[in-house]
Structure 1
Amino acid sequence: MVPAYIRIHDAIKRQIDQGVWEIGQRLPSERDLADDYEVSRMTLRQAITLLVEEGILERRVGSGTYVAGHRVQEKMRGTTSFTEIVKSQGKKPSSSVISYQRKLANDSEMKRLGLKASDYVIRMERVRFADDIPLVFEVAAIPEKLIRHFKREDITKHFFKTLTDNGYEIGKSQQTIYAKNANDRVAKYLSIPKGQAVLALTQVSYFADGIPFEYVHSQYVGDRFEFYLENN
C-alpha cells in the first residue's frame, strides 16, 4: 500500500503540473491542506518536505510555501553551449564580460588543453544570465592560436556557433562537479550572499577529433540551475 504522504505528494505535484497552482503562487496553509486531504498535519508536512527537497516547492521563512520557479536544466551528456541550453528552455540568454585578456597558459590550462609553457590563451571572465537573472560566474581559457582570427564579439557572445560556422565539429566534454562556497567577488556578481553554496563545475570541451579547445571553471547558483543525467 502506498504511504499516505506519497499519495499527497503525488496529488499536489499533479495539481501543479495541471496549473491549479502556478509558479510563484503561495499554497494554502498546512492546516488547510491537511483538512482538504483528510490527513494529519504531520503526514501533510512529510509530503511538503519531499516536494521541497525535489525543488518543486520552496519554503519562505515567515511567509509560507510557494510553487518554485523552474530551474534552467543542463543534461549531462555531450557538449552543448550555455546559449543553446537557455534558448531551448524558452529563456533569453545574455552575458556580461568582466575581463578578456591574453595570458600565458597556467599549469592547469597547459595540462587540460595540451599546451606548452610558451603558449598563450585568451582568459575570459563573464557572468551569464537567463532572462536577466544571473546563473553562473565563468572563467574560460581558450588557446589563442585557435581563435586569433576571430573577432572578440564572436568569442564572447556565441563561441560555439562561431566554431561550427567555421567548419569545426564539436565533440565530447569532460566535466567535474563539486560544491563550494561563493567568495565575496563571485557572490557580488551572482547577487547572492557571501558564503552561499554554489555548484562548481570544471569542463574541458573537445573537437570531434579529440583536440581540446576550451577549459572552463564555472560557479552556478544552485537554486537557479540544475544538472541531470540521462543514460541510454
Structure 2
Amino acid sequence: MINKNSPIPIYYQLAEHIKQLIEKGDLSPGDSLPAEREYAEQYQISRMTVRQAFTQLVNAGYLSRRQGKGTFVAERKLEQPLQGLTSFTEDMKARGLEPGNEFIHFQIIPATSQISQHLCIQEDEPVYEIKRIRLADNVPMALETNYISANLIGGLTETIVNQSLYGYIEEKLGYQIEEATQIIESTIASPIEAKYLKIKTGAPIMSILRNTFLKDGTPFEFVISAYRADRYTFKIHMKR
C-alpha cells in the first residue's frame, strides 16, 4: 500500500489509499480518521507526510478538519452539470435524493427596479416573491428567492411550487422553457444566509443570479440563490 521505493511521493500514496477507502464506502461521511500520529506510527512515516496527505484530501473535498476535534470524512458534494436547463427538483431526483422545500415566505409584491429590468416588465407590476430553503434528503443546500411575473405565470400556489414549478409551467400552462443565463460568484455567507443554510457566518457560498426564458424569448423568472460551497459543486464539459 505504501511503497517507499516508489517514485510516487509517500504523501500522495497515503492520500490515494484514504480516498479509495472513502470511495468504496469503507469510510463514510462523518467518520473520524485516526490521528496523524497513528498513521505515522503505522506506516513508519513522518507526521508532516501524513499532514500533507490530509491537506490534499481536505482541498479535494474528501476530508474536513474540525477545530479541536480532529479530521473527518466530509459530506460528498452534489455535482451540477452546467449543460442543460433543469430544476432543482429534477436534479435531486436524478441523483436518487429526495428534494424538499422549507418556505420562508410566498407572496405577491410590486416589482422593484432590479426585478423589472430582469423580467422586462414595468416597475410595480405584480410579481411572486418565493423565498425558500432547498433541501436534499432534508439537508439545506441553498437559499433561493424566485421572482416570477404574476401577469405571465398565473395561479401559482405553495403546493404547485413545492411539487415542481417548471413542471407546472410546461405541463399545465403549456409554455416551453427554452434557456437561462447564470452568473456564479464565490462569496461568504451573511448572518441570514448562515442561519437558513445551517453554516457559520462567513463560510464560503456560491452566489448565483439566474434569468430563465420561454421559447419566445420572454423572461419569466429571476432567481437569486446562495448555495453551500461545502455541499454543492458545478461541472462544465468543454470541447475545443
- Judge same fold: TM > 0.5, yes or no: yes
Partners in 1 of 2:171 and 2:9 — Cα distance? 54
Q: TM-score, normalised by structure 2?
A: 0.86
Partner deviation per Cα, 1:119-174 (whole Å, 9 max, x = no partner): 32111111111122222111110111222144442134310111221333222221
- Distance (whole Å) between structure 2 residues aligned to residue 18 and residue 194 of structure 1: 33
> Deviations for 1:85-140, whole angstroms, at most 9, x for unmatched residues?
22222221111221222222222222222222353211111111112222211111
Task: Indicate whether 1:124 and 2:130 are aligned.
Answer: yes
CA RMSD of aligned residues (A): 2.1
Corresponding residue for 1:46? 52
- Over the matched positions of the two proteins, sequence identity in percent amounts to 34
User: Who is 1:193 aligned against?
Assistant: 200
Aligned residues: 232
**Which residue of structure 2 aligns with residue 76 of structure 1?**
82
Matched residue, 1:148: 154
Question: Where do 5+ consecutive residues of structure 1 fail to align?
Answer: none
Distance 1:149 1:19 in 2: 46
Q: Which runs of 4+ in 1 moved over 6 A?
A: none
Following superposition of structure 1 onto structure 2, how do residues 199-218 of structure 1 map, counting pairs within 5 Å? 199-218=206-225
What letter matches 2:218 in structure 1?
I
2:151 counterpart SS class: helix
Once residues 44 and 176 of structure 2 are traced to their aligned partners in structure 1, the CA distance between those partners, rounded to angstroms, is 58
Structure 1 equivalent of residue 115 of structure 2: 109
Letter in 2 for 1:73: E
Amino acid corresponding to residue 22 of structure 1 in structure 2: S
CA distance in 2, matches of 1:95, 1:221: 15
- Where structure 2 has 5 or more consecutive residues not aligned to the other structure, the ranges are 1-6
2:11 counterpart residue number: 5
Contact 1:136-1:190 within 8 A present in 2 as well: yes
1:224 is the counterpart of 2:231: yes
Structure 1 residues 183 and 19, CA gap change in structure 2 (3 angstroms)? closer
Q: Do the aligned partners of 1:78 and 1:173 also contact (CA within 8 Å) in 2? A: no
Of residues 183, 186, 193, the one that matches 1:179 is 186
Instruction: Letter of the 2:69 partner, please give it.
Output: S
Residue 4 of structure 2 corresponds to which residue in structure 1? none
